[in-house]
């Protein structure tokens, strides 16, 4: 990390990106002159509150209580969290800092801001004497087309960076090392500690893993990582996609969440390989409330195209030890024992994904839920197990109706995000797709 004093003394840094995520997880904000930022950092800056009400096209969605045309779309205050200040290793002369979004009048955290949503759940978990440590396993597709070329081609017939399944292939991985290796080095230079990269199950699909941290720090790293990788690809004349399911033919991209619970320096998930009661209750809640917080793991219409039997994405709710057909996979031994939740796609907003997981787990602890028996075998073949929601519409209805979600997040947050997701569903239903044209244009 970079301190303000180091930033002031570093003449190589002339720009500071001041950022926060919108609902989709995109970083939005401003670029500051580094000298001006150092002088005014404690005052923060302002941004239009419409940023927490827009769709993917930056069009304001009507009907929010938080901000509207009737209210004139005023400002929120952005308060830099200086513990997140770091060099932007993917570009020259820049640093980046993440912000909390604060009400200009009350000076309270804006409850709908994704970072606030996660902060609140981390605080609730601390009331139980627990800390969540986490890591995201982020998959992506790499293309030889630039983003502009991909846009101009309508995102069809793109040139994949690989032409056969890349999974663990060192030869195929070597062909994309000019980009993926550059991404590893850029992230390391951004104080985001890298573990490894590897080929994945799709053509041109890869995975880059970074070190675990507490949940809020991990969500910060995840957000910066995703943005930095896009900027790097853009600068290299390539494109990288974190869509959950970019093509029908290839496997989807996940963001598996690894989560462990700690009481001081003890991993309560079972450091001695014996599951603790609190771990079992947390996992029981996490599984019980999958439908209630599914929008946190799968926030787009496209997200649900990933859940296909036999595709490495989970389709039913069960837990199992080291079993990749299960939605909840218990892995590791000793202090590294943790749960890998395989539900989230690469398109998730990490703040909301971790918040959903923690909220569901807390409900399990508070309700003293009993963990189901471990499933052994092929979860895909177990038709009697609960199925993962099939559509964003279904998941949004479950979220909106969830007493657990309303107790955990508050009615204002649930109402806000339910409205946001319904607008996304409505936009999808109103759009005419290439699939429809191919299917119906001539033959209907």
In this predicted model, what pLDDT tens digit does every residue of 73-111 receive, in sequence order? Answer: 999 999 999 999 999 999 999 999 999 999 999 999 999
Q: What is the pLDDT of residues 12-53, one digit of tens each?
A: 999 999 999 999 999 999 999 999 999 998 789 999 999 999
| pLDDT exceeds cutoff 90 at 269 | no
Average pLDDT over every residue of 222-245: 98
The predicted pLDDT at position 106 comes to 94
Q: How far is the CA of 371 from the CAs of 236, 275, 330, 334, 368, in angstroms? A: 48, 11, 13, 20, 9
Query: Mean per-residue pLDDT for 414-440?
Result: 96
Contacts of 137 (CB under 8 A, 6+ apart): 207, 209, 254, 255, 256, 257, 258, 340
Distances (CA, A) of 380 to 40, 63, 79, 195, 335: 55, 40, 46, 30, 30
Q: What is the pLDDT of residue 43?
A: 84
327-374 pLDDT, tens digit each = 999 999 888 899 999 999 999 999 999 999 999 999 999 999 999 999
Residue 200 has pLDDT above 80, yes or no: yes
Work out the burial of residue 109: count CB atoms within 10 Å of its CB; fewer than 13 is exposed, 13-18 middle, 19 or more buried: middle
Spatial contact of 114 and 99, defined as CB atoms under 8 Å apart: no
Which pLDDT score is estimated for 24? 97
85-89, 168-172, 199-203: range with highest mean pLDDT: 85-89
Tokens for 370, please give them.
């009993």
343: CB partners within 8 A, 6+ apart: 257, 290, 294, 297, 298, 314, 327, 388
Q: What pTM, to 2 d.p., does this model score?
A: 0.97
- Residue whose tokens read 């996609």: 241
Quick one: pLDDT at residue 335?
87
Collapsing DSSP states into helix, strand and coil, what is residue 290? helix
pLDDT higher than threshold 90 for residue 323: yes
Average pLDDT over every residue of 269-283: 83
Supply the pLDDT for residue 273: 60
Mean pLDDT of 268-292: 89
Give the contacts of 41 (CB within 8 A, at least 6 positions apart). Answer: 4, 80, 82
**Residues 35/86/266/268 CA torsion (nearest 10 deg):** 110
Cβ neighbors of 29 (< 8 A, separation 6 or more) are: 17, 18, 19, 20, 47, 78, 99
Computed over every residue of the chain, the mean pLDDT equals: 96
Banded pLDDT at 57 (limits 50, 70, 90): very high
Q: What is the pLDDT of residue 389?
A: 97
Residues 112-137 pLDDT 10s: 999 999 999 999 999 999 999 999 99
- Give residue 272's pLDDT: 61
Asked which of 151-155, 169-173, 390-394 is least confident by mean pLDDT, the reply is: 169-173
pLDDT of residue 166: 85
């Amino acid at each position: 990390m970079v301190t303000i004093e180091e930033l002031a003394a570093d003449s190589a840094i002339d720009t500071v990106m001041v950022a926060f995520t919108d609902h989709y997880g995109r970083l939005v904000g401003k670029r500051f002159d580094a000298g001006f930022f150092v002088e005014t950092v404690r005052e923060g800056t302002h941004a239009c509150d419409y940023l927490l009400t827009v769709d993917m096209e930056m069009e304001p969605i009507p009907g929010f209580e938080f901000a509207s045309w009737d209210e004139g779309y005023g400002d929120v205050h952005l308060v830099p969290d200086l513990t997140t200040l770091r060099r932007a290793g993917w570009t020259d002369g820049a640093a980046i800092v993440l912000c909390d979004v604060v009400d200009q009048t009350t000076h309270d955290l804006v409850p709908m801001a994704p970072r606030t949503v996660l902060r609140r759940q981390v605080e609730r978990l601390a009331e139980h004497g627990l800390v969540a440590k986490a890591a995201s396993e982020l998959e992506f597709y790499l293309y030889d087309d630039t983003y502009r070329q991909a846009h101009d081609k309508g995102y069809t017939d793109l040139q994949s960076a690989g032409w056969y399944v890349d999974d663990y292939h060192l030869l195929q991985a070597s062909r994309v090392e000019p980009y993926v290796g550059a991404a590893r080095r850029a992230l390391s230079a951004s104080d985001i500690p890298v573990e490894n990269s590897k080929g994945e199950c799709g053509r041109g699909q890869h995975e880059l893993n970074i070190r675990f941290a507490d949940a809020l720090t991990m969500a910060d790293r995840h957000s910066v990582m995703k943005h930095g990788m896009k900027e790097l690809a853009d600068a290299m004349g390539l494109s990288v996609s974190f869509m959950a399911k970019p093509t029908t033919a290839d496997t989807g991209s996940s963001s598996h969440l690894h989560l462990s619970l700690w009481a001081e320096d003890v991993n309560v998930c079972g450091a001695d390989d014996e599951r603790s009661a609190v771990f079992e209750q947390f996992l029981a809640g996490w599984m019980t409330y999958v439908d209630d917080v599914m929008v946190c793991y799968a926030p787009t219409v496209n997200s649900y195209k990933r859940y296909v039997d036999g595709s490495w994405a989970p389709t039913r709710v069960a837990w199992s030890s080291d079993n990749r057909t299960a939605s909840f996979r218990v892995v590791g031994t000793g202090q590294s024992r943790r749960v890998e939740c395989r539900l989230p796609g690469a398109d998730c907003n990490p703040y909301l994904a971790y918040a959903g997981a923690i909220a569901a787990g807390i409900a399990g602890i508070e309700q003293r839920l009993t963990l189901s028996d471990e499933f052994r075998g092929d979860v895909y073949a177990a038709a009697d197990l609960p199925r993962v929601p099939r559509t964003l519409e279904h998941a949004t209805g479950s979220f909106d109706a969830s007493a657990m979600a309303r107790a955990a997040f508050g009615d204002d947050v649930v109402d806000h995000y339910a409205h946001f997701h319904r607008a996304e569903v409505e936009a999808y239903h109103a759009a005419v797709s290439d699939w429809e044209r191919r299917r119906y244009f001539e033959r209907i």
